Amino acid sequence: MPVYNNRYYPPEQAVTWADLATDDGLYVVADYVVANYIATEPAGGLSWANGTANWNSWTNSNVSWNFVTTTNIDLGSLRSGYPISSAEFDSGPANDKTCLISYQTSTDGITYTNVSAGVLTSRYVRTRVTSNGSYLSRLETTIKFDTEQEVFTAVNTAALSGTVNGRILNLSSVGNIAQVSSQNTIGTYSASSYDIDVVSANADAITFVVKDLDTWGKANVDVNTLDILVQGFPKIAANAQLGIVDRIY
């Protein structure tokens, strides 16, 4: 079952300093750092009376912020999953604003480690946003645990790159390998049975050897019709221009 963390911020609004003297006031988000909002400090200091003439209008573009870190998501125990996140921010008329989403993980809820978007093994997860934009109005993160499968049928392992001691199989959707299984439907030697041993794996490929079980697994061989099932968490990536972390299809 997915675990959610949603955070909402006050909507973008245009407020003048004269408005601050009214009962309406101004919402201030603690995560924002307000900088360079005074045009010229009037003689005698700042006051409601002289602030109207000397302060810039506040339209969110006068607010600068570098990063926001949410409260944590408690997964209940140490486990692996992958995040899906989205943020609403000002992309800018020239599309020059970016919003990069990353994460912080912790096993004890006290000490956190900064990590990039990817499969997370943790109990506590925070979402971290770094941006050169002016505001952030929404940030949502879902931790998911479902797995993806890639099926390869009638693979001629000799045609793959590498050698018999390490064949490379490229992956398109699975990015974190949990299980690799195989079945030889025809085989180079019809009386033989085979097994796959994964030598190494990354987000793009697995390197494996085919063991001939008739030799008690001592001989690495190539097979010309091997069905391979790869299962694991899907590939995900952060897109700073869109302000999202999502699956790669």
DSSP state, residue 95: S
Which stretch of DSSP H or E encloses residue 105?
A: strand 99-106
Q: Are 145 and 228 in contact (CB under 8 A)?
A: no
Q: What is the pLDDT of residues 152-187, one digit of tens each?
A: 998 999 999 999 999 999 998 888 877 788 776 544
> What domains, with CATH codes, occur in the chain?
3-7+67-145+238-247 (2.60.120), 148-234 (no CATH)
Whether the predicted pLDDT of 3 surpasses 60: no
Distance, CA of 194 to CA of 210 (rounded, Å)? 6
Distance, CA of 68 to CA of 194 (rounded, Å)? 52
Residue 180 amino acid letter: V
Structure tokens at 215: 């030799």
pLDDT tier for residue 18 given thresholds of 50, 70 and 90:
very low
Q: What is the pLDDT of residues 62-95, one digit of tens each?
A: 444 566 788 889 999 999 999 999 988 876 666 6
